Each structure stands twice: as structure tokens, then as C-alpha cells.
Chains A and B, each alone.
Chain A
Amino acid sequence: AQKVTQAQTEISVVEKEDVTLDCVYETRDTTYYLFWYKQPPSGELVFLIRRNSFDEQNEISGRYSWNFQKSTSSFNFTITASQVVDSAVYFCALSEEETSGSRLTFGEGTQLTVNP
């Protein structure tokens, strides 16, 4: 069964610090997809990134970067030079190719607070 673990429940940093959010996943499928979503206080789910299991290249988008390592089943998310607007709950999620309907399994989420 698929599972996503985000061990960090809450992280608090001061603006301009770098912060890494950890995500570890479990799956028996060989083809799967990993996602990160941001949930600001307003409540909606904001899509950040999708990676497939065959693409281990790290990705950078502005201040955001993602490190995908199949060897450790991890898909970590780093925010460089954090800003107050980055304060939100961040969810890592997994979708398996072979599972009918391809549902998303979410981690518990990490509450990130960036203080001025």
C-alpha cells in the first residue's frame, strides 16, 4: 500500500533562512508520481510540482528546489531565502500508476511558519 511520511509537523524559521521539508514515500509500483502542494491559510491546495519515478533530476523553480532520490525513497523540498508569504502547510503526495483511479495519497503535512 502506498504511504507518504512527512516527519516534520511544524517548522519555524526567520525570513531569509533556507528551509528543507522532508518527504519519504512507500510504494510497490515501479511507475509512480510525486507531488508537492501548498495550502495557505485560505485553504485551497496550490500545485507546486509533479515528478515521475523515472526522472530523478533535481528541479529548481525560482526559490524552490526539489531533490528526488529513489535510493532513499525521498522527495525533499527546499525553499531558499524564505519569505513570510511562504508560511503555509505543505503536503507531499504520491500517485501510483497501476492503481485504478490513480488516487493521491497525501502525507500529514508540514506547517511552515516564516517569521519576519
Chain B
Amino acid sequence: EPEVTQTPSHQVTQMGQEVILRCVPISNHLYFYWYRQILGQKVEFLVSFYNNEISEKSEIFDDQFSVERPDGSNFTLKIRSTKLEDSAMYFCASSDGGGAYGYTFGSGTRLTVV
């Protein structure tokens, strides 16, 4: 069964450093998403991406965040200058068409900012 692959599974970074979280969505999917889950809390939407542009973003997704689909297969989330409060699990997901088709989630990247 096709999978969404996220790397790395765990990343530790120093406050103020830039990090890039990588995702390989399912190849024929059209919609891509990033979600965040702070430890012990709910899963929160960050951004959706369709047709090579952001289609929706939440208030969490400020100027420190950016997304890119650099080569037609990878989908990346960049945090420019990490803060302690960016420590969380980040999930990538892809979909053929949103809720009607369902979503496939990756297994997540646990980001720890020290």
C-alpha cells in the first residue's frame, strides 16, 4: 500500500537554527498538508498545498514557516529560526482530493528545539 514517507523521524536543533522537514507524498496525490502536534495536545492544521501553491494556511503558519515542492516528489516544511515552542511532532499528509478521498499521513517527525 502506498505510503507517505517523512524524514528524519526525530530531529534535535538549537534555538534560532533553520530546519527543513522532508516528506515524500503519494506520487499521484494532488493535495499536500502539514500538521503539528505539540506533546499531549491535539493535531493542528498548518498549511495545505495544491497546484504548486499554498491553498490555505492557519494562523500558526506565520512568516517563520514556508513550504516547497522542489522537485515534483518531495514536499518540505522549513522553519527559519526555530523557537522552543516549535518543539512538536510534525505530520505530513497527502490526498487525492480532500475529505472525499481521505488522507494518508506520514509517521511524523519529532522536532525538539533546545
Chain A residues close to B by CB (< 8 Å): 32-33, 35, 37, 43-45, 47, 50, 52, 91, 93, 95-97, 99-109
Contact = CB atoms under 8 A, between A and B. Distances in A.
Contacts of B110: 43
10 contacts: A35-B103, A43-B110, A44-B108, A47-B102, A97-B100, A101-B55, A102-B99, A103-B45, A103-B58, A104-B35
B18 interface: no
Given A43-B110, A45-B91, A103-B45, A97 B99 contact: yes
Interface in B38-81: 41-45, 48-50, 55-56, 58
Given A45-B91, A102-B48, A104-B43, 13 more contacts: A35-B103, A44-B105, A45-B43, A45-B105, A47-B103, A50-B99, A97-B99, A100-B55, A102-B95, A103-B33, A103-B45, A103-B58, A109-B42
Nearest to A49: B102
**Chain B interface category by residue count:** 20 to 34
Interface of B: 31, 33, 35, 41-45, 48-50, 55-56, 58, 89, 91, 93, 95, 97-100, 102-105, 107-108, 110
Contacts of B98: 33, 95, 97, 101-102
B45 A105 contact: yes
B108 A43 contact: yes
Contact of B42 (A52, A91, A102): A91
Nearest to B98: A102
Q: Looking at B35, B98, B100, B107, which has the most chain A CB atoms within 10 Å of its CB? A: B98
B99 A108 contact: no
Contacts of A96: 99
